[in-house]
């Protein structure tokens, strides 16, 4: 339980309340802690490249419409 932060700068990214079990080996979240927690840019259809909103450290992707509920995204 708690807050997940950027490994590079400590910026707060996700809350454990938004974490859920997914088949991916990586932690999966339905939403960021705040709107400015991450920056996003379109990488390909259905996926956005996600970086830390403070330092730009690479965090992976946001997969659109791949969350636990219809219409939710997965980080």
Count other Cβ atoms within 10 Å, centred on residue 23.
5
Residue 59 pLDDT > 90: yes
The domain spanning residue 34 has which CATH number?
2.170.150.20
Domain-embedded: residue 53 = yes
Range of the domain at 38: 3-63
Domain-embedded: residue 29 = yes
pTM of the entire predicted model: 0.87
Q: Provide the domain count of the chain.
A: 1
Cα–Cα distance measured from residue 7 to residue 20, given in angstroms and rounded to the nearest whole number? 20
> Residue 1's pLDDT band (boundaries 50, 70, 90)?
confident
Cα–Cα distance measured from residue 62 to residue 40, given in angstroms and rounded to the nearest whole number? 8
pLDDT tens string 8-44: 999 999 999 999 988 888 889 999 999 999 999 999 9
Domain-embedded: residue 70 = no
């Amino acid at each position: 339980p708690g807050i997940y932060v950027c490994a590079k700068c400590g910026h707060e990214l996700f809350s454990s309340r938004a974490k859920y079990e997914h088949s991916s080996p990586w932690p999966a979240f339905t939403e960021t802690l705040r709107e400015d927690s991450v920056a996003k840019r379109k990488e390909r259809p259905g996926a956005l490249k996600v970086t830390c909103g403070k330092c730009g450290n690479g965090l992976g992707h946001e997969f659109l419409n791949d969350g636990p509920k219809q219409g939710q995204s997965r980080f």
